[in-house]
Amino acid sequence: MRDPSLAARFGAAACALALVLAGPAAAQHEHSPYAAGQSSQVKSMTQQQVDDLLAGAGMGLALPAELNGHPGPRHVLELADSLVLTSEQRARTQELFDAMQAEAVALGERLLEAEAALNDLFAAGSVEEGQVALAVMRAARLEGELRIVHLRTHVAMYGLLTEHQRHTYDRLRGYGAGHGPVSAAF
């Protein structure tokens, strides 16, 4: 039979040794996931988000439309042959996309400026609560406007396609049964 005091001392010593050895290694891995953003001009966004805003990308802003049977023009153009779009539908879809893209890029640039201004408030070292609230509300308003641009384009796109084309779009995009416009009961 083992001596319980020896086992207890050995266990305590092993734990202490493990802590000593793990301490420096653990400290090396405690970097914040935000550390990479320190050098960014817009610290509240990843580089991918910045690139998407500057390109007018959808960034999931129109998911309520897309996932409820209201296609977006970018994907409709990508699937134009499979959807058997008429020449008029192609032209109108391209017009919708171009208008959305131009407006989204302009709003994206303004949103980036607003986020940079928010960052600058904190970088200055002295910031007041009222300033933060105004800066955040400005950025939020611009993001809302950007979302409206994408959503209203999906609404317009819906009206340009036939029911058959919308169903084909859903199938080609991999949306399952039950996808499409639904009425919510509250």
Between residues 40 and 162, the one the model is more confident about: 162
pLDDT number for residue 29: 58
How are the residues of the chain apportioned to helix, strand and coil, as percentages rounded to the nearest 5? Answer: 70, 0, 30
Q: Whose structure tokens read 């080609």?
A: 172
DSSP label of 41: S
The DSSP 8-state label assigned to residue 37 in this structure reads G
pLDDT for the residue numbered 184: 40
**146 Cβ contact partners less than 8 Å away, ≥ 6 residues apart:** 53, 61, 104, 107, 108, 111
In the predicted structure, residue 82 carries a pLDDT above the cut 60? yes
Q: What is the pLDDT of residues 21-75, one digit of tens each?
A: 455 555 555 666 666 655 567 888 999 999 999 999 999 999 999 999 999 999 9
pLDDT in tens, 93-115: 999 999 999 999 999 999 999 99
Residue 143 pLDDT more than 90?
yes
77 touches 91 (CB < 8 A) = no
For residues 125-138, give the mean pLDDT: 92
Q: What is the mean pLDDT of the chain?
A: 83
pTM: 0.74
